[in-house]
Amino acid sequence: SVPRGIRNHNPGNIERGAPWQGLADPAEMTAEQRAEPRFCVFRAPKWGIRALARVLITYQDKHGLRTVRGMISRWAPKADQNNTEAYIRTVSDHLGVAHDTAIDVHTYDVARALVEAIIRHENGRQPYDRATIDTGLALAGIEPPVLMVAPPPVPIPTKPAPRTLRQTSTGKTGAAGLLAAGGTVLTVAAENADAVLDAATNPAVRALETAAPWIGGVLAALAAVAILLLLARKHRLETAG
């Protein structure tokens, strides 16, 4: 019930003669395969599919056959008792091309459709899954196209927003809290120079001066240091530019 080409892992029914890759050794064959008088017996379907594809490549590259009519007329000639015209129609219909339209068997889609059509016509069925067909074609040097996938975009790092004087409050009260608040002016001076340089109108600075007048001198010194830091940073940026 299983067609000869499928039993022999030779779905193209290629005749013996050439030293094909993947031919089965007699020790690997069944008794029926050893008794095969005409056709090759391969170790696995992928090798028979490879041989089929290599024959088609030879037809195109060596003999200049570029149409379904040309290839099938050589593959299954009328002289060998074949219904060549029916074979041509079947294969052309499967490929969706006219009998005399130029094709390229080095193209994966064309080669795959052509191989599947020949297997079906030779055996009355095409029992192999896509992976088996693709493996045989790859062994013949015909690879499926590679899909180019764009890499994901590289995220652009975001610069954190500068801290404000209000955000850096330690929550302490009394002199210790005032000193801590004053110290933060120096810490964030380079990040938030506007808050330091505009000390005369900054509510936080006014609150410190009202609570403890002697803090004014400390703040003035800190503001001076902040201005120096700002000028140094500006000079560094201009030099780098």
Q: Which residues are CB-contacts of 34 (< 8 A; sequence separation ≥ 6)?
A: 26
For residues 200 and 130, state if they share a domain: no
Same domain, 70 and 131: yes
In a domain, 174, yes or no: no
Residue 157 forms part of a structural domain: no
Contact 37, 17 (CB under 8 A): no
Question: What pLDDT score was predicted for residue 155?
Answer: 79
- pTM: predicted TM-score of the whole model, two decimal places: 0.62
Residue environment code for 36-71, b if the CB has 16+ CB neighbours within 10 A, otherwise e: beebbbbeebbbbbbbbbbbbbebbeeeebbbbbbb
Average pLDDT in the 188-208 region?
A: 53
In a domain, 108, yes or no: yes
Give yes or no: residues 74 and 135 share one domain: yes
Shared-domain flag, residues 207 and 135: no
Instruction: State how many domains the chain has.
Output: 2
Token pair listed for 128: 């192999």
DSSP 209-233: HHH-TTHHHHHHHHHHHHHHHHHHH
Looking at the fold, whether 18 and 130 belong to one and the same domain comes out as yes
Same-domain status, 207 and 128: no
With pLDDT > 90 as the criterion, what percentage of the chain qualifies? Answer: 59
Residues 54 and 126 in one domain: yes
Tokens of 119: 């297997």
The answer on 11 and 127 residing in a single domain is yes
Residue 193 vs residue 162, higher pLDDT? 162
User: pLDDT at residue 185 above 50?
Assistant: no
One domain, residues 197 and 132: no
How many other CB atoms are there within 10 angstroms of residue 164's CB atom?
15
Residue 207, domain extent? 183-239
Decide if 177 is inside a domain: no
Better pLDDT: 153 or 141: 141
8 Å CB contact between 202 and 181: no
The reply to whether 132 and 188 lie within a common domain is no
pLDDT at position 236, please?
Answer: 67
In sequence order, which residues have a C-beta less than 8 Å from that of residue 205 and are 6 or more positions away? Answer: 165, 199, 219
Domain stop point among 117, 140, 163: 140
pLDDT of residue 178 exceeding 70, the answer is no
Q: Which amino acid is at 17?
A: G
Do 129 and 216 share a domain, yes or no? no
